[in-house]
Chain A
Amino acid sequence: MTLKHVTGLLCAAAMSLVLAAGARAEDKVVKIGVILPMSGGTASIGAHAKAALEVAMNIINNAHPELGNLPLAKNTGLAGLGGAKIDAVFADNQGNPATGQNQALRLITEDKVAAVFGAYQSGITLTSSAIAEKYGIPYLNSESVAANLTERGFKWFFRTTPIATDFAKIYVDFLADMKAAGAKTDAIALVHDNTEYGTSVANTISAAFKEKGQPVALDVAYPVNATDVQGQVLQLKDKKPDVIIMISYTSDAILFAKTMQSLDYKPAILLADDAGYSDPSFIKAVGKISQGVFNRSSWVVGPPGSASAVIADMYKKKSGEEMDDTVARQMQGFFVLADAIDRAGSTDPAKVQAALKATELKADQLMIGYKGVKFDDKGQNILAAGAIIQLQDGENYVSVWPKANAEKPPVLPYKGW
């Protein structure tokens, strides 16, 4: 036997040990399948989400009386299931809808999870939730905003996040206020990628502005994970819109920021639709050349000692990052799902589904700025809400709109660098 054979055998032995360790049985555990982008262009989001869900599990599985009204925080585990612990089974969607679908199938048929949670990208939520629907397993989505996800007549699909139509309305109202304050907002350009998220959100926003009698002047679509966006930025520079609404994942958002600087182009108002612009690595990479960008968010850190501030602190300790809107919505969604399983008192899919339908959480039971959580017949949370934040100093977002909850007034025009 040569050295190579020995190495090969050792590798095989190590792999089987790892696999065996993963399959170790635990009693009184409720398994939740979690589908996230752990690799591919949006892997940074998956890494943050994983840290956030681990914090959420810590809160659920251990006693945290300091978190006040937050359901499941006070006692250890799920009281409704005799103190059973929640255990997330993480699966990588690789940024690919087909992979996400396979992972859902694997989680449901092999890991026998009680519910599925995921999957960040709208396009992957679309495919993976279809599998859960087929098998009659509850699927909770906390962050995908494409409107059509809850228009499919699904019985097992629930979504806690505000969606594209909610945000389109926020953007229309926000820009109307900015116009009233003297800003020029007549020509609006939409810049978006060609994914399910990019195209569907762009369509929803453009329909909302059209309804207000202000059709979108320019629509710039680009292929996701672009290598170069000079052509698009020059197109914008040529047409000079007053407002640009960016619908982009992190890699493209960074590339746009860099290219806009190199070609010396700034619109008067740059308004981002969450996603890449909420990724902390976007702020670290190009925050200093994106000063004054507006963004949407449902997350606001409360005063010290409040549940949201405590959680933000726990998250920072775990991940080393500041809490952002995306991970906050994911954590909140996970709490809603765990709360439903707790109230169902069982992992029986039909009972969990009934408990989800009966969900009625008030604003003070949440860690995020929704008015509450209550699902309509389509599974959409009708009490979801959001606000506009601005990256004024290039380092931290502050809430600027609506005025009632604003930390600072909005600063115009877009400063850039």
Chain B
Amino acid sequence: MSFVLVQVIVGGLLLGAVYALFSSGLTLVWGMMNIVNFAHGDFVMLGMYVAYVVYTLMGGGPLLGAPLATLVLATVGVVVYFALIRDIMKGPMLAQILGTFGLALLLRYSVFWWFGANFLSMPQNIVGGTYAFAGLRIEASRLLAGVVALLVTLGLHLLLTRTSLGSKMLAVAEDQTAAQLMGIRPDTMQAIAWGIAAGATGLAGALIANFFYIVPTVGETLGIVAFVTVSLGGFGSVPGALVAGLLIGVIESLSGYLIGAIYKDIVVYVLFLLFLWFRPQGLMGKM
């Protein structure tokens, strides 16, 4: 195997871990209440801007920016749940789709209005440097994002499967009425789910901001990837999103290098559709 190929695969894995990180929130919300959040990409964008504001106003790096972005977005998530989601869940499917779509546009154009359309970028020295060993080059900021992505995704999985809070959330997802009879408040559980999902998404945004450009429309570019990752991994499955993210990252990088970048999306989406043909529930989703 040629040396460059190893670099391509490593790059793809790191990219994939980040895809997984910003997709886990989307899959969680879907698993809990069957809502597709079209504003998801714009949550990532908000996380990036929080990290940027923390840097420009307070001179803080990712040590301050990432937790703050998590906190701010978790709050946004809870507020959005009570102000919008709780009501539109009672409406028809179309209202749910258009509701979160409207939210996406509202967030995007608020940021447009506040920050303008200019591209922003974090300074190089915040998570600076590139590790080179055995000829491989790994960017510190991507490595940080990749490692945190793995930890957070695992953490979310453990939270859902190993804690009483997780059991309560799953109970609400399974059967709201039954959960209510057991003394679990569906409202509270779903609000917590939105908080966690949006918080994880904000964290992802803050970490991605260290190596990506920041612009109000960045959510469009990243949102599509999140949807593909979630449907390949299986709607509602956090580990599925992790595996799917890594797979998509590697396939994208490899086909971009070997066949040509212009064809890489064709390769990714043909494989994606073929896979769904055989396994419509995704890698780890339930039917």
Who on chain B is nearest to A50 by CB? Answer: B117
Q: Give chain A nearest CB distance to B230 CB in angstroms.
A: 16
Who on chain A is nearest to B123 by CB? Answer: A288
Distance in angstroms between the alpha carbons of A229 and B211 in the assembled complex: 12
Distance in angstroms between the alpha carbons of A264 and B139 in the assembled complex: 10
Contact check, A284 vs B112: say whether CB atoms are below 8 A apart: no
A14 adjacent to chain B (CB < 8 Å):
no
Who on chain A is nearest to B259 by CB? Answer: A231
Distance in angstroms between the alpha carbons of A226 and B262 in the assembled complex: 10
Contact check, B118 vs A44: say whether CB atoms are below 8 A apart: yes
A301 adjacent to chain B (CB < 8 Å):
no
Contact check, A263 vs B257: say whether CB atoms are below 8 A apart: no
List residues of chain B with CB within 8 A of the CB of A254: 119, 121, 213
Q: Mark A128-156, 1 if CB is under 8 A from B, else 0.
A: 00000000000000000000000000000
List residues of chain A with CB within 8 A of the CB of B137: 262-264
List residues of chain B with CB within 8 A of the CB of A221: 260-262
Interface size for B (C-beta < 8 A) is: 41
Contact check, B217 vs A40: say whether CB atoms are below 8 A apart: yes
List residues of chain B with CB within 8 A of the CB of A231: 8, 11, 252-257, 261, 264
Q: Give chain A nearest CB distance to B3 CB in angstroms.
A: 10
Who on chain B is nearest to A250 by CB? Answer: B119
Distance in angstroms between the alpha carbons of A222 and B225 in the assembled complex: 17
Binds B, one of A69-77, A232-240, A344-352: A232-240
A194 adjacent to chain B (CB < 8 Å):
yes
B163 adjacent to chain A (CB < 8 Å):
no
List residues of chain B with CB within 8 A of the CB of A280: 118
List residues of chain A with CB within 8 A of the CB of B121: 254, 258, 284-286
List residues of chain B with CB within 8 A of the CB of A228: 11, 15, 252-253, 256
Of B4, B12, B142, B213, which is in contact with the most chain A CB atoms at under 10 Å from its CB?
B213
Q: Give chain B nearest CB distance to A206 CB in angstroms.
A: 15
List residues of chain B with CB within 8 A of the CB of A284: 118-121
List residues of chain A with CB within 8 A of the CB of B4: 234, 237-238
B215 adjacent to chain A (CB < 8 Å):
yes
A207 adjacent to chain B (CB < 8 Å):
no
List residues of chain B with CB within 8 A of the CB of A222: 256, 261-262
Contact check, A289 vs B119: say whether CB atoms are below 8 A apart: no
Distance in angstroms between the alpha carbons of A220 and B260 in the assembled complex: 7
Q: Which of B117, B120, B130, B225 contacts A227 (CB 8 A)?
A: B225
Q: Mark A267-308, 1 if CB is under 8 A from B, else 0.
A: 000000000000111101110110000000000000000000
Q: Give chain A nearest CB distance to B88 CB in angstroms.
A: 12
B164 adjacent to chain A (CB < 8 Å):
no
Distance in angstroms between the alpha carbons of A225 and B211 in the assembled complex: 15
A41 adjacent to chain B (CB < 8 Å):
yes
List residues of chain A with CB within 8 A of the CB of B120: 281, 284-285
Distance in angstroms between the alpha carbons of A337 and B187 in the assembled complex: 60
B7 adjacent to chain A (CB < 8 Å):
yes
A251 adjacent to chain B (CB < 8 Å):
yes
Contact check, A258 vs B119: say whether CB atoms are below 8 A apart: no
Distance in angstroms between the alpha carbons of A60 and B279 in the assembled complex: 64
Contact check, A46 vs B222: say whether CB atoms are below 8 A apart: no
Q: Give chain B nearest CB distance to A346 CB in angstroms.
A: 36
Contact check, B124 vs A255: say whether CB atoms are below 8 A apart: no
Q: Which of A41, A235, A238 contacts B221 (CB 8 A)?
A: A41
A39 adjacent to chain B (CB < 8 Å):
yes
Distance in angstroms between the alpha carbons of A277 and B117 in the assembled complex: 16
Distance in angstroms between the alpha carbons of A285 and B255 in the assembled complex: 29
List residues of chain B with CB within 8 A of the CB of A264: 130, 132, 137
A227-B119 in contact given A221-B260, A221-B262, A232-B261 (Cβ < 8 Å)? no
A230 adjacent to chain B (CB < 8 Å):
yes
Q: Mark B213-224, 1 if CB is under 8 A from A, else 0.
A: 101110011100
List residues of chain A with CB within 8 A of the CB of B7: 234, 263
List residues of chain A with CB within 8 A of the CB of B253: 228, 230-231
A382 adjacent to chain B (CB < 8 Å):
no
List residues of chain B with CB within 8 A of the CB of A281: 118-120
Contact check, A230 vs B112: say whether CB atoms are below 8 A apart: no
Q: Give chain A nearest CB distance to B105 CB in angstroms.
A: 10
Contact check, A234 vs B221: say whether CB atoms are below 8 A apart: no
Distance in angstroms between the alpha carbons of A255 and B119 in the assembled complex: 11
Q: Give chain B nearest CB distance to A90 CB in angstroms.
A: 14
Who on chain A is nearest to B139 by CB? Answer: A262
Contact check, B117 vs A47: say whether CB atoms are below 8 A apart: yes
Q: Mark B257-274, 1 if CB is under 8 A from A, else 0.
A: 100111011000000000
Q: Which of B12, B109, B213, B225 contacts A255 (CB 8 A)?
A: B213
Q: Give chain A nearest CB distance to B135 CB in angstroms.
A: 11
A29 adjacent to chain B (CB < 8 Å):
no
Q: Which of A262, A279, A285 contacts B130 (CB 8 A)?
A: A262
Q: Give chain B nearest CB distance to A250 CB in angstroms.
A: 6
Who on chain A is nearest to B11 by CB? Answer: A230
Distance in angstroms between the alpha carbons of A228 and B265 in the assembled complex: 11
Interface of B toward A, CB cutoff 8 Å: 4, 7-8, 11-12, 15, 109, 112, 116-121, 124, 130, 132, 137, 139, 142, 211-213, 215-217, 220-222, 225, 252-257, 260-262, 264-265
Interface of A toward B, CB cutoff 8 Å: 38-41, 43-44, 46-47, 194, 220-223, 225-232, 234-235, 237-238, 250-251, 254-255, 258, 261-264, 279-282, 284-286, 288-289, 417
Q: A223-B265, A231-B257, A284-B120 are in contact. List 17 more A-B contacts (CB 8 A).
A: A41-B221, A43-B117, A43-B215, A44-B118, A44-B215, A47-B116, A221-B260, A227-B15, A229-B256, A234-B7, A234-B257, A250-B119, A255-B212, A284-B119, A284-B121, A285-B121, A286-B121
Contacts A/B (CB < 8 Å), 10 sampled: A41-B215, A41-B217, A43-B117, A227-B252, A228-B11, A228-B15, A229-B256, A231-B255, A258-B212, A285-B121
- Sorted from nearest, which 10 A-B pairs have the closest CB atoms? A231-B256, A285-B121, A222-B261, A43-B117, A231-B257, A281-B118, A281-B119, A262-B139, A221-B262, A230-B11
